[in-house]
Amino acid sequence: MTEETATGHSWLIATGSFAAGVALIYTIDVIVHKISPDHEMTELENFEDVRDSIRNMESSKAAGKVSTPCVETGLSTTADPTSQFVKMDVNSQRALQRMGVLSALAIGIHNLPEGIATYVGAMQKPSVGCSLAIGIGLHNIPEGIAVAAPIYFATRSRWRGLMWCAISAAAEPVGGIIAWLAIGNGMDPISEGILFGLVSGVMVCICVKELIPTAYKFAKDKTYIVAIGMFAGMFVMMASLTLFGYAGA
Q: Could you report the per-residue pLDDT of 8-19, keeping only the tens digit for each?
A: 888 999 899 999
C-alpha 136/C-alpha 110 separation (Å) is 11
Domain count of the fold of the chain: 1
C-alpha 143/C-alpha 106 separation (Å) is 10
Distances (CA, A) of 166 to 16, 104, 111, 121, 173: 31, 9, 12, 23, 11
Structural domain containing residue 144: 3-248
Q: Which amino acid is at 134?
A: I
> Residue 113: is it exposed, middle or buried by C-beta count within 10 angstroms (0-12/13-18/19+)?
buried
pLDDT band for position 85 (cuts 50, 70, 90): very low
Q: What angle do CA 174, 105, 111 make, to 5 degrees?
A: 40
C-alpha 149/C-alpha 156 separation (Å) is 10
- Tell me what pLDDT residue 37 has: 46
C-alpha 242/C-alpha 169 separation (Å) is 22
Weakest mean pLDDT among 111-120, 213-222, 224-233: 111-120
Is the predicted pLDDT of residue 124 greater than 70, yes or no? no
Give alpha helix (H) positions in 41-169: 47-63, 90-124, 126-155, 158-169
C-alpha 90/C-alpha 154 separation (Å) is 9
Tens-digit pLDDT profile for residues 135-174: 677 667 777 777 777 777 777 778 887 888 888 888 888 8
